[in-house]
Amino acid sequence: MPHLRSVGLFKPSCPVRREEQSWIERQLDWLTGQFGDAALRGQVILPTDDFFPGVYQGSVADVQRVVSLVRTRMGVQEGSYVVELADADEELVVPGYRQTSGAAGEYRREAGEGVISISMRQAKAPMALVATIAHEFGHHRLMGEGRVEPGRGDNEPLTDLASVFFGFGIFAANASREFTATSRIGPAGEALVGWRSAKLGYLTEPMFGYALAYWSYRRGDRDTVWQRHLDTNPKVFLRKGLRYIDSTRP
């Protein structure tokens, strides 16, 4: 009996649907055209003491430091925006910051100025806080600078993709699905404990994984150090995406 070969039987597959793959690649190419190769190949921000030194307590001062780091990496012009901190316990006397009440994260334009609103409840979860601030600054760079129209249908997922482009993909991907413990009393008086899943962001975990894979490919960056900081699901989709790209591109 002749030996049967299984060439191509287990060819790597893309972790996202074809239309999602096409959209991710087109938009990351577009972001590179808008902001340049230097921004594409800029520093990858990691959830380490090198970028976020000291003990994080979710204070107003902590939020200000995160805002400063994200603003600098994303190339946001100082004086072009103001930050609102919703439900802050401390009285704010810092130029460019004001107190308000509002959503976990929001971007709007007022009198030609970008307004980024952040809830201090969000500040208790540093991974989600960084992802939220990067997302809202993404709106500022895209809509605030007139690069996209406010009514564009894919505005929110494109803004998530901008977080990946500017080096905050670890935070965006890890915060894309958070689980919080919940408890309530059942009809017989028993304690019912469970988990509530809260989605943060507009891209799915497979889309974040493939976006990070294509972004890494475009950067010429196969460094595994930053990949270690990804949660399990995004990391699996990233590595699947890298294998797929390796099998289909020179």
pLDDT tens-place string over residues 30-60: 999 999 999 999 999 999 999 988 888 888 8
Give the helix, strand, coil percentages of the chain, each rounded to 5.
45, 15, 40
Of 86-90, 223-227, 236-240, give the lowest mean pLDDT range.
86-90
Q: How far apart are CA 68 and CA 79, in angstroms?
A: 12
The pLDDT-based confidence of 165 (bands split at 50, 70, 90) is very high
Query: For the chain, where are the E strands, in sequence order?
Result: 81-86, 97-100, 105-110, 113-119, 177-185, 191-199
As given in the structure block, the two tokens for residue 225 are: 């150090």
| Nearest one of 44, 27, 219, 46 to 142, comparing CA atoms | 27
pLDDT over 70, % of the chain: 79
The pLDDT-based confidence of 93 (bands split at 50, 70, 90) is very low
Q: How far apart are CA 118 and CA 128, in angstroms?
A: 11
CB-based contacts of 50-55 (< 8 A; 24+ apart in sequence): 52/126
Q: How many CA atoms lie within 13 A of 229 on its CB side?
A: 18
Of 61-75, 112-126, 156-170, give the lowest mean pLDDT range.
112-126
pLDDT tens-place string over residues 173-202: 998 865 333 334 445 544 433 333 334 558
**Which helix (H) or strand (E) covers residue 9, if one does?**
none
